[in-house]
Amino acid sequence: MPVIRVALSVPVDTLFDYQADDASEQDIGARACVPFGKKKLTGVIVAVGTETQIAVEKLKPAHCIFREIKPLPAALLDLFHFCSQYYHHPLGMVIMNGLPVKLRNNKAAILKRNPHDDCYVLTATGASIDLSSIPARNRVARSLLNEFQHANTLTALQVKQISPRAVKLVPEWIRLGWITVQPISAARVTGTAKIPALNSEQASAVDAITASNQQFDTWLLHGVTGSGKTEVYLRIIEPMLTQDKQTLVLIPEISLTPQLEAVFRNRFPAVPLVSLHSGLNDTERLSGWLQAQSGEAKIILGTRLAVFTPLPTLGLIIVDEEQDSSFKQQDGLRYSARDLAIFRGKQANIPVVLGSATPSLESYHHALTGRYRHVRLLSRAVQNAALPSIRCIDTRINKTQDGLSQPLLQALDQCLKEKHQSLIFLNRRGYAPVLLCKSCGWSAACQRCSSRLVVHLRDKKLSCHHCGHQAQFPRACPQCGNQDITPFGQGTQRVEETLAAHFPAARILRIDRDSTRRKHAWQEILHAIQTQQVDILIGTQLLAKGHDFPNLALVGILNADNALYSTDFRASERLFAQLMQVAGRAGRANVAGHVLIQTEFPEHPLYQSLKQHDYDALAQTLLAERKIAGFPPYVYQALLRAEAHDIRIVLDFLDQAKQLAQSLEIVELFDPVPAQMVRLKGLERGHVLVQSASRKHLQAFLTGWYEKLMTLPSQKVRWVLDVDPLEF
């Protein structure tokens, strides 16, 4: 009697056995719908055998095995097993987290064919048609035929870009035999995009990486902003396409997807490419996932969850902006997509390229010690494009009014006169971070979090940016009745209002999570910037990385000093990376770039390194500090996080957990403490820090400790082990 072992998305680190008469070893990796208590659940079959520890009379039969799509490959199941063991998370929850939403329910996956998966190829009949034979009034038909006769093959998307009316001509032209339709995967044409020449540094990087593209290596592609890392990616992807192999490109933010996707589609117009990110609906995500699983899609561009995509002919993995903390999941399964990408590269014996202008100190340390191979791009790719000049405005001397100093306003005015674009960077959305009563000192606080409510003046609302809680704007102080309650501090909305008052003729565009909520908002914003419809941009970290704005000449940075007060040992590293990235938006083409930073500490070593564009100097200083203090990358860490409605329950649970830990000299266990933000989303939080100089010893300790933790009563407490934590 065949018995299937099924991984289910339940918080128990156990596999469940079921009887399945029609099961065979070919079903390993397939989904199965099974009874679980009074419910039906869908899980993934990880083993098929004939033996079970359960009495035969208690063994329940599976409802069905879904075979409408191919089972998950063995290599992907191995990745899930590794992820479960390394991050100490139940295997079933790991596997189901990695699948598209439509594969987690109790239904078969049914997907209709998308016409955008097709492309159109010009026939000999179509090629012989004289353009002049089409009447001049039929401009769309003439444009479409002209494009076909130049490119020979056009995708459905390219036809639509010529004109929405061009799409209506396609069925008629197919009937006339001018063009034929075929799946996009069958077409192999070279790109029509103008390919830039490589400079010597780019050429060396491409040669080095492609020379060893048949084996596993982790490459750190360390290039200054604007050094042409994307062009290096395109060049190392080319040999993969000629060998009919797939490339996985991981990016940290959904906001980077449209621009990078446009670059790839322009260079490889008939190569099947799919994007996988949270902005897609469930059907779109499943469609892209299935194209990747079938091997049809050759370039897979995605955010962190894309690391779990089944890729049968994977030949290369690229992680862009590898230092970004967005690659680390901060709830549930707390995995790092960058680290899993490296494991996946080793597993498949293929190269992994980590790209960054400001690598994480862990990656930089690995490059210095020879664990990663290091290639540098020290100059900008565009000829005559220099790195921007960086100057600090001392706000102790140049006082700010509404957050803006006089030198910054003068620079903005000059930039407008020269018809160049400028960017004001402030990593704080909303109108103001605090609503304050000057009479009694009351401030609007979130009742569900240990944070203040942010003022959104246009909506007349107060909003918590941690839990989403909203409250009405009070007419008077609820504590003393004073009606003179004041928004205190600057947010992007307030800066927008101030700049509009100073420069009434300027076209100002604010870019933050509030202004980019609509589905196609990002594409519209990027188009407006590229076509010079904007004079002054006001943006948060959404604008800091990866974007190329050729006419941007000035970057002004507000409130950078806040990070210098942080208790987080990674704060300086993150601030430097963020400022280096946002400074790098200026002067990327033939326009000279200038960066002005408003600060009270212009002599701070971080700002001095930034002015010199000297990442190495700051990185060496920070590494020396971390070595003395015993912080990563010189130690490996894990946090036992717990949360409940009462902090006493949390700390009691953590005390019990610490007592269960086996005492080891090679592993250091700290006392339970409340989290930096104690209250979040209505729950109070605490943690226990564990660290060791050896990753192997830390993992051995965590494995034994995790088994004991599973025996603790935890009805009132939610807990999770966070391996390699980024936030405390």
Residue 127: pLDDT over 90: no
For 170, 608, 612, the CA distances from 376, given in Å and listed in that order, are 48, 22, 17
Average confidence score pLDDT of the chain: 89
| Percent share of the chain, pLDDT over 70 | 96
Residue 186 banded pLDDT, cuts 50, 70, 90: very low
Answer whether residue 578 shows pLDDT above 70. yes
Quick one: pLDDT at residue 664?
76
Assign 156 a pLDDT band (cuts: 50, 70, 90): confident
Q: What is the pLDDT of residues 386-442, one digit of tens each?
A: 788 999 999 999 999 888 999 999 999 999 999 999 999 998 888 889 999 988 989
Structural domains of the chain sorted by starting position, each given as residue range(s) with its CATH number in brackets: 3-103 (3.40.1440.60), 115-186 (no CATH), 200-377 (3.40.50.300), 389-432+489-624 (3.40.50.300), 636-723 (3.30.310.180)
Lowest mean per-residue pLDDT among 65-69, 362-366, 539-543? 539-543
pLDDT of residue 10: 94
Measure CA of the first residue to CA of the last residue in the chain; give whole Å: 50
Query: Token pair for residue 686?
Result: 């605490």
DSSP-assigned beta bridge partners for residue 327: none
Q: Are 553 and 419 in contact (CB under 8 A)?
A: no
Q: Report the pLDDT value the prediction gives residue 539, as an integer from 0 to 100.
A: 86
Examine the pLDDT at 625 and tell me if it is beyond 80. Answer: yes
Nearest to 252 by CA among 319, 348, 170: 319
Measured between alpha carbons, how far is 127 from 179 in angstroms, rounded to an integer?
A: 9
Length of the chain: 728
Distance CA 492, CA 429 (A): 5
Q: Work out the average pLDDT over 83-111.
A: 92
The answer to whether the CB of 54 falls within 8 A of the CB of 82 is no
pLDDT recorded at residue 158: 78
> How confident is the model over 484-510, as pLDDT tens digits?
888 988 889 999 999 999 999 999 998
How far, in whole angstroms, is CA 122 from its chain's centroid? 39
Can you say how many angstroms the Cα of residue 127 is from the centroid of all Cα atoms in its chain? 44
Using alpha carbons, select from 717, 719, 720 the residue that is nearest to residue 645.
Answer: 717
Q: Which of 292, 320, 159, 306 is nearest to 236 (CA)?
A: 320
pLDDT band per the 50, 70, 90 thresholds, residue 111: low
Spatial distance between the Cα atoms of 466 and 449, rounded to a whole number of angstroms: 7
Residue 122: closest CA among 160, 151, 165, 157: 151
Q: Which runs of consecutive H residues, i.e. helices, occur in 6-115?
A: 74-87, 91-97
Task: For residues 576 and 573, give the distance between their C-alpha atoms in angstroms, rounded to a whole number.
Answer: 5
The pLDDT value given to residue 254: 81
- The percentage of the chain sitting over the pLDDT mark of 90, rounded to a whole number, equals 61
3-state secondary structure labels for all residues of 371-415: CCEEEEECCCCCCCCCCCEEEEEECCCCCEECCEEHHHHHHHHHH
Structural contact between residues 661 and 686, judged by C-beta atoms closer than 8 angstroms = no
Bond into 602 cis (ω within 30): no
User: Is the model's pLDDT at 589 over the cut of 70?
Assistant: no
* pLDDT level of residue 383 (50, 70, 90 thresholds): confident
Tell me how far apart the alpha carbons of residues 273 and 585 are, in angstroms, rounded to a whole number: 27
Of residues 595 and 266, more confidently modeled: 595
pLDDT of residue 189: 42
pLDDT at 695 (0 to 100)? 95
Per-residue confidence band for 190, with pLDDT thresholds at 50, 70 and 90: very low
What distance lies between CA 269 and its chain's CA centroid?
Answer: 24
Four-CA torsion 200, 205, 207, 213, nearest 10 degrees: -170
Report the run of H or E that residue 144 belongs to, with start and end.
helix 139-151
Task: Report which of residues 540 and 683 the model is more confident about.
Answer: 683
- The residue among 281, 334, 280, 337 whose CA lies nearest residue 305 is 337
Asked if the model's pLDDT at residue 301 lies above 60, the reply is yes
Average pLDDT estimate for 305-325: 96
Tens digits of residue pLDDT in 329-374: 998 999 999 999 999 999 999 999 999 999 999 999 999 999 999 9
Contact 220, 250 (CB under 8 A): no
Weakest mean pLDDT among 39-43, 197-201, 280-284, 523-527:
523-527
Q: How far apart are CA 644 and CA 650, in angstroms?
A: 6
Q: Has residue 689 got a pLDDT over 60?
A: yes
Average pLDDT rounded to a whole number, residues 170-190: 71
Name which residue leads in pLDDT, 110 or 79: 79
Query: 188 pLDDT band (50/70/90 cuts)?
Result: very low
